[in-house]
Amino acid sequence: MRLVNACHPGDVKSALFSSLGFGGHQSPDEGAATPVWLAIGSEGQNLSGSYFENQRVQSCQFSADREATEALYQGCREFA
């Protein structure tokens, strides 16, 4: 069984985020909490097709645009 999920990588205070204009307010450990939780916890082993933020399933604002989602999917298939 294949499981595929996505998660917010955190809002880590870093040189990269600062240079992009996002200040960031989390430590690296705080930013890594959700990706690590998803990778090794039971949620990530039991759900597929979900988006997580702050260790919770969230709706993704981009998924509401079905046309854009389908175009992205088809574009990715070309490179697979």
In angstroms, the Cα distances linking 42 to 20, 34, 46, 48, 71 are: 34, 12, 6, 12, 31
- Give the range of the structural domain holding residue 35, as residue numbers without chain letter: 6-79
Q: Is residue 74 part of a domain?
A: yes
Tens-digit pLDDT profile for residues 36-76: 999 998 888 888 889 999 999 998 877 788 898 899 889 98
pTM over cut 0.85 = no
Q: Give the distance from CA 36 to its chain's centroid.
A: 12
Q: Judge whether 57 and 41 are in contact, CB under 8 Å.
A: no
The whole-angstrom separation of Cα 2 and Cα 4 is 7
Q: Is residue 1 part of a domain?
A: no
The pLDDT score that the predictor gives to residue 80 is 64
Q: Is 35 exposed, middle or buried (0-12, 13-18, 19+ CB in 10 A)?
A: middle
Number of domains in the chain: 1
Residue 31 has pLDDT above 80, yes or no: yes
Read off the pLDDT of each residue in 3-31 and give the average, rounded to a whole number.
Answer: 87
